[in-house]
Amino acid sequence: MRRLLLSIRDGRGFDIGLVSVPLAFLFAMAGLPLIYNIVMSFQEVDMFSLGTFARPFVGFRNYATLFSLPETWPILGNTAIFVVASIAGQFTIGFALALFFWTGFPGSSWLRGLFLVSWVMPGLVVGAIWNWILSGDFGVLNYILRESGLVSGNIFWRSDPDFSLWAVVIANIWLGISFNMILLSVGLSAIPQDLYEAAELDGANVMQRFYTITLPMMRSTIGAIIALGLIFTLQQFDLFAAITAGGPNNSSNVAQYWAWDMSFRQYDFAQGATISVIMIVFVMIASVVYVRSTRHEVRG
């Protein structure tokens, strides 16, 4: 103990001291709830045992029950569609915008800053606004689609089971574009200009420069942003609460909303925890991708 104190005083243990503070904080605020959640998914939990930690251990029974439910697979499928479609939309539009602003026309940096507005808006507010846009009878989106001749009748985005999930996807893409654009812009501006000049003299045209310089130089940024996108879409909750509430008949329900519904509306905390654990596995995979891609920074 004395030696430990001494090592802090003489400076050698100071770094350990510094690191231990955030580590302790992380463990208390993130680690413990995580472990508690995992433990709970292996226990029988009801309203009366909620206050104690010592609850009957049931092994994988919660998991077995979960996968015997008829809505489980459709909801997991919805989650996959939601995640893939959201990331694909956010990334492609975000990258296109980042490239557009990167050309540096007058006022480009100013305009790019304006795009951040979508980012500072609370999810519930965004959801409320999109409710109006998506509204079946007087919504702007329907008006545009109808007037441009793309559809003949109104689409009831929020109440038609074929469209309800896509209603949330559209709103979520809008919400995520600015984040994708800003991060990709930073990645683009980090590419040294002389590489493009060298490539130009080496005979590469615009497309060749994009595929041989821009994309490979952006690899770590792209890896990071897709991993972060996966994490952010898996925790997207506000839009579901505001736009469809998972309905109609679970047609737009996803794992994260379902977990909340199970725990806090049906008070089936064990099932809610079980769904969360399944999601943790996916988030972990995303985290590994994120850490790996940010570690592989290339610059000679």
Partner 1 sequence: MTMHQIELSGVNKYYGAYHALRDIDLKIRKGSFVALVGPSGCGKSTLLRSLAGLESISAGDLVIAGARMNGVPPRKRDLAMVFQSYALYPHMTVEENLTYSLRMRGVGKAEARRKAQEVAATTGLSNLLGRYPRELSGGQRQRVAMSRAIIRNPKAFLFDEPLSNLDAALRVHMRKEIRALHDRLGATSVYVTHDQIEAMTMADHVVVMRQGVIEQQGAPLELYDRPANQFVAGFIGSPAMNFVPAQVGADGRSVVLDLGTPHIVALTKSVEARRTLIVGIRPEHLQLASEMDTALRLPVGNVESTGAATYVTTATQPELIIVLNNRVSIRRGETLPLHLDPTHLHLFDKETQIRLV
Nearer to partner 1, 218 or 234 (CB): 218
Which positions from 218 to 247 touch partner 1 by CB under 8 A, shown as an x/- string? -x----------------------------
* Distances 283 to 27, 73, 290 between C-alpha atoms, Å: 18, 19, 10
Rule CB under 8 A: is residue 213 a binding residue for partner 1?
yes
Nearer to partner 1, 71 or 197 (CB): 197
Find the part of the chain contacting partner 1 (CB under 8 A) among 144-152, 174-182, 203-211, 221-229: 203-211
| Beta-carbon contacts of residue 297 (< 8 Å; ≥ 6 apart) | 220
**Minimum distance from CB of 280 to partner 1 (Å)?**
33
**Minimum distance from CB of 48 to partner 1 (Å)?**
60
> Of the candidates 98, 217, 273, 286, which one interacts with partner 1 according to CB under 8 A?
217
Per 3-state DSSP, what percentage of the chain is helix, strand, and coil (rounded to 5)?
A: 70, 0, 30
CB atoms within 10 A of CB 250: 19
Rule CB under 8 A: is residue 146 a binding residue for partner 1?
no
> Of the candidates 49, 131, 154, 212, which one interacts with partner 1 according to CB under 8 A?
212
Nearer to partner 1, 173 or 213 (CB): 213
Q: Is the Cβ–Cβ distance between 101 and 284 less than 8 Å?
A: no
57 — phi, psi (to 5°)?
-80, 130
**Minimum distance from CB of 200 to partner 1 (Å)?**
4
CA distance 210 to 220: 16
Nearer to partner 1, 81 or 195 (CB): 195
Rule CB under 8 A: is residue 188 a binding residue for partner 1?
no
Question: Can you point out the beta strands (E) in the chain?
Answer: none
> Of the candidates 3, 265, 295, 299, which one interacts with partner 1 according to CB under 8 A?
299
Rule CB under 8 A: is residue 160 a binding residue for partner 1?
no
Length of the chain: 300
**Minimum distance from CB of 92 to partner 1 (Å)?**
22
**Minimum distance from CB of 193 to partner 1 (Å)?**
9
Rule CB under 8 A: is residue 200 a binding residue for partner 1?
yes
Find, among 8, 27, 5, the residue nearest to 17 by Cα.
8
Rule CB under 8 A: is residue 259 a binding residue for partner 1?
no
Alpha-carbon radius of gyration of the chain: 24
Helix (H, G, I), strand (E, B) or coil at 255: helix
CA distance 81 to 176: 16
For residue 51, with 0-12 CB atoms within 10 Å meaning exposed, 13-18 middle and 19 or more buried, which class applies? exposed
Residues lying near partner 1 in the complex (CB under 8 A): 192, 194-195, 197-205, 208, 212-213, 216-217, 219, 298-300
